[in-house]
Every structure is written in C-alpha cells, then in structure tokens.
C-alpha cells in the first residue's frame, strides 16, 4: 500500500511540475493548474504539494510528498500526506534503490513499475525516475522522466 500511495503522489506532483496546465486523466483525475509548489529547509528536507480532484468520487484533496536526505546514513526518506494526514513513509538506500511495481490488470501479469536511479553529490540528491510496464516479467515499454535534483537551492528538473 505504501508504495502505491507514493507512486500515485509522485506521478501527480511530477505531472503538476512538468505541465503547469490543467491535467485531466480521462475525466477521472485532475490537478489544479496552481501547484502549491515546493518548500525546502536547511535540514535537507523538501515538501512538494499538489491539489488533486478525483472527479469520479467528487473529492478534492491536497497530496504532499516530503523528501529528506540522510547524509550520514546514505538514505532518502520519503513521506506522503493527504489533507495533512500521513499515509506513507519509507527510507530508501541510495546504494541499492528498490523498484516498485503495481498490477495494472491482475488477470494477466501486467504491471506498471518505477525505478529511480539515485546519486548523492555533496549536499544535493539527483533522482532519475524510469517508468515501465512489465508483461509476464518482460519489459514492454519504458519512459525516462527528467531527473529531479534536490539540494540547498531547492528542487529543479535537469
């Protein structure tokens, strides 16, 4: 469950950052053209929020992802909140980041996955996500998103 929430939150915020336009996913999910943006602190932690409307359920929510860098432990700490309530938290090793997959169609073995290559350089972290689909453990299609760099100067796409 935690990886599903983080994957959904990551997708919503990334689309909001990249598009700066109103996003509509087949009439089911839309995000405001006005992102709430990212706030970073000197503790090597950034929080990015996005307003999301689930049209099918007539529900409006604010999804926030928090990313913190553990320089001494070599970990990246991720958290997700929805309307101020924590829904997920986990730590990822920068040496061996995991791949997260969720089933798209459970009757056939079709999964949507995200793999993030992470590099720590000084006081900044560079994360390069790749989304791909697996069919019966064979990669069918993939897309490399722009890399996200988080550091003392904030969040940027590179």
Which pLDDT does position 56 carry in this prediction?
A: 67
**Could you tell me if 52 and 61 are in contact, meaning their C-beta atoms sit under 8 angstroms apart?**
yes
What is residue 34's predicted lDDT score, i.e. its pLDDT?
Answer: 46
46: left (phi over 0), alpha (psi -120 to 50) or beta: beta
Give the H or E element holding residue 148: strand 148-151
Domain ranges of the chain: 2-157
Query: Average pLDDT in the 48-68 region?
Result: 79
Mean of pLDDT over the chain:
75
* Stronger pLDDT, 120 or 113, i.e. the higher one: 113
Judged by DSSP in three states, 116 sits in: strand
Residue 39's H or E segment, with its range, is strand 37-41
Which range is most confident: 49-53, 99-103, 144-148?
Answer: 144-148
pLDDT for 29 equals 45
Residue scoring higher pLDDT (141 or 105): 141
- Residue 71 CA to residue 75 CA, distance in Å, equals 7
Instruction: Please list, residue by residue across 76-114, b when 16 or more beta carbons sit within 10 angstroms of its beta carbon and e when fewer do.
Output: bbbbbbbeeeebbeeebebeeeeebbeeeeeeeeebbbb
- Strands 124-135, 110-121: pairing is antiparallel
pLDDT at 3 over 50: no
Q: What is the pLDDT of residue 12?
A: 52
Of residues 3 and 155, the one with the higher pLDDT is: 155
Main-chain dihedrals φ then ψ at residue 57, nearest 5 degrees: -105, 0
DSSP at 66: E
């Amino acid at each position: 469950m935690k990886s599903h929430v983080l994957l959904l939150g990551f997708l919503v915020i990334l689309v909001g950052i990249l598009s700066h336009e109103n996003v509509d996913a087949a009439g089911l999910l839309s995000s405001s053209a006005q992102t709430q943006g990212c706030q970073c602190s000197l503790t090597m932690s950034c929080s990015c929020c996005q307003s999301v409307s689930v049209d099918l359920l007539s529900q409006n929510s604010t999804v926030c992802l928090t990313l913190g860098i553990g320089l001494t432990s070599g970990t990246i700490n991720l958290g997700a909140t929805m309307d101020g309530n924590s829904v997920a938290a986990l730590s990822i090793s920068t040496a061996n980041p995991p791949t997260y997959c969720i089933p798209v169609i459970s009757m056939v073995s079709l999964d949507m996955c995200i793999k993030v290559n992470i590099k720590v350089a000084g006081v900044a972290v560079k994360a390069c996500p790749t989304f791909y689909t697996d069919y019966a453990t064979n990669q069918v299609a993939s897309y490399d998103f722009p890399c996200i760099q988080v550091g003392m100067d904030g969040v940027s796409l590179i």
